[in-house]
Amino acid sequence: MLRVRCLRGGSRGAEAAHLIGAMVSRTVSGWVSHAFRSTSSSATSVTEHTPEDCPVCAYNEWDPLEEVIVGRAENACVPPFTVEVKANTYEKNWPFYQQHGGHTFPKDHLKKAVAEIEEMCNILQHEGVTVRRPEPIDWSVEYKTPDFTSTGMYAAMPRDILIVVGNEIIEAPMAWRARFFEYRAYRPLIKEYFRRGAKWTTAPKPTMSDQLYDQDYPMRTVEDRHELAAQGKFVTTEFEPCFDAADFIRAGTDIFVQRSQVTNYMGIEWMRRHLAPTYKIHILSFKDPNPMHIDGTFNIIGPGLVLSNPDRPCRQIEMFKKAGWTVVTPPTPLVPDNHPLWMSSKWLSMNVLMLDEKRVLVDANETSTQKMFESLGIKSIKVSIRHANSLGGGFHCWTTDVRRRGTLQSYFL
């Protein structure tokens, strides 16, 4: 049985610091097992002070959603075909990047994506959610830093760059050069939230110099990728901290993360130190040849309820079962093979957005997934975003939940 602990007062001793070298040298599963046990055995609690009128507040992925940022497809550009982009895309799509890198996505497709996201915003508002949008920007403009030259990409996926933890909104540093200045589209919103009382933190911005990337990262086949991932080898090095916010997923005082092609151990350690002692960071790993963003692999949808991708099994899943969690295997996606998914897999079908414990935003075409939610007693709010999927995200990716009505709790006792 799942046990939930409300955090009302007291203090928790500071978690012992773990050096990056220790993280890397140990097996990931051993590290997580130790961290998980220490969380489970904790008998103390903490207080999280969040003013009732704070515009920013979220502790998990399922409390009643009150305000959300929805991304924009307008002016979206294909990123230049650099080593970090190559490592995160499949070989069948490489010609597309070689042809269109630095230019806008196909205009007809983009127009349909824009219309789908507008309809998604309308439906969210109809469900009682306040919708905010980033600023439209011309992402085709070339920019230059002392370390690289690039064009931009988009402000389509706020989940990648922003994460709300309590009453704090954190800007992720990112790991793709094409996304270096993506934060500019969100700054007007974040400044507004800050003026109204929210905490605002920007993680250290990486230089994204050549040292951050393994310039000789060897990938040709899916088998190559599986072998490299199993060996803990990724295109990003440990030269400096980097992470995408979408590699983290929240469950009260426990936040789960994966080491991926865009999130390194230094980035994870920065978040661990920044959020301690109130929150604990746990590293998970998956049998995934191309790890990038956790929410299409492991999506927590309720207290003690998680969707776990059958094609990318979690190596630490037994710990969730022992904690009383229900692990749900989502059905095979129904995306047609000929539908372009330039930046993601078909498993965007499980990349859903919970409006509360009993309502979920799910693709109108994914009837099998809708039936799964029906069996769980959750109502599907159906929206079609097939063309928006092509840009690299599902409902969870296309949004950042700014405010959810709930309290800080622990779901592991």
pLDDT of residue 413: 64
With 70 as the cut, is the pLDDT of residue 53 above it?
yes
Are 244 and 343 within 8 A, CB to CB? no
CB-neighbour burial class of residue 63 (10 A; exposed 0-12, middle 13-18, buried 19+): buried
* Tens of pLDDT, residues 178-213: 999 999 999 999 999 999 999 999 999 999 999 999
| Percent of the chain clearing pLDDT 70 (strictly above) | 87
Catalytic site includes residue 293: yes
Residue that wins the pLDDT comparison between 237 and 6: 237
What is d(CA 168, CA 50) in angstroms, rounded to the nearest whole number?
9
Catalytic site includes residue 397: yes
Catalytic site includes residue 244: yes
* Tens of pLDDT, residues 321-346: 999 999 999 999 999 999 999 998 99
Active-site choice (109, 293, 387, 396): 293
pLDDT of residue 29: 40
pLDDT of residue 16: 34
pLDDT classification of 359: cutoffs 50, 70, 90: very high
Q: Exposure string (b/e) for 298-319, b if CB count within 10 Å is 16 or more?
A: bbbbbbbbbbbbeebebebbeb
Q: Residue for token digits 């069996």?
A: 375
Contacts (Cβ under 8 Å, ≥6 apart) of 403: 55, 56, 57, 58, 65, 66, 67, 164
Active-site choice (63, 356, 397, 401): 397
pLDDT classification of 219: cutoffs 50, 70, 90: confident
| Percent of the chain clearing pLDDT 90 (strictly above) | 80
Cα angle for residues 56, 195, 398 (degrees, 5° grid): 40
pLDDT classification of 406: cutoffs 50, 70, 90: very high
pLDDT of residue 48: 54
With 80 as the cut, is the pLDDT of residue 23 above it?
no
With 60 as the cut, is the pLDDT of residue 11 above it?
no
Mean pLDDT of the chain: 89
pLDDT of residue 52: 72
What is d(CA 29, CA 45) in angstroms, rounded to the nearest whole number?
26
* Tens of pLDDT, residues 369-383: 999 999 999 999 999
pLDDT of residue 32: 38
Segment 267-292 shows an average pLDDT of: 95
Active-site choice (63, 160, 244, 401): 244
Overall size of the chain counted in residues: 413
Rounded to the nearest 10 degrees, how much is the dihedral formed by the CA atoms of 234, 235, 236, 238? 60
With 50 as the cut, is the pLDDT of residue 25 above it?
no
Contacts (Cβ under 8 Å, ≥6 apart) of 152: 77, 137, 139, 140, 141, 143, 178, 179, 181, 182
Segment 144-170 shows an average pLDDT of: 98
Q: Exposure string (b/e) for 206-219, b if CB count within 10 Å is 16 or more?
A: bebeeebbbeebeb
DSSP state of 398: T
Distance set, CA 122 to CA 111, 116, 118, 367, 393 (Å): 17, 10, 6, 22, 19
Lowest-confidence region among 223-227, 272-276, 343-347, 386-390: 223-227
Fill in the amino acid letter for 35: A
pLDDT of residue 364: 97
With 80 as the cut, is the pLDDT of residue 142 above it?
yes
pLDDT classification of 7: cutoffs 50, 70, 90: low
Residue that wins the pLDDT comparison between 48 and 77: 77
* Tens of pLDDT, residues 29-38: 443 344 343 3
pLDDT of residue 229: 81
DSSP symbols for 179-192: GTTGGGGTHHHHHH
Domains of the chain in start order, with CATH, are 53-404 (3.75.10.10)
pLDDT of residue 50: 56
Residue 280 φ then ψ, to 5°:
-110, 135
Segment 232-251 shows an average pLDDT of: 96
What is d(CA 373, CA 95) in angstroms, rounded to the nearest whole number?
37
228's tokens: 């490299």
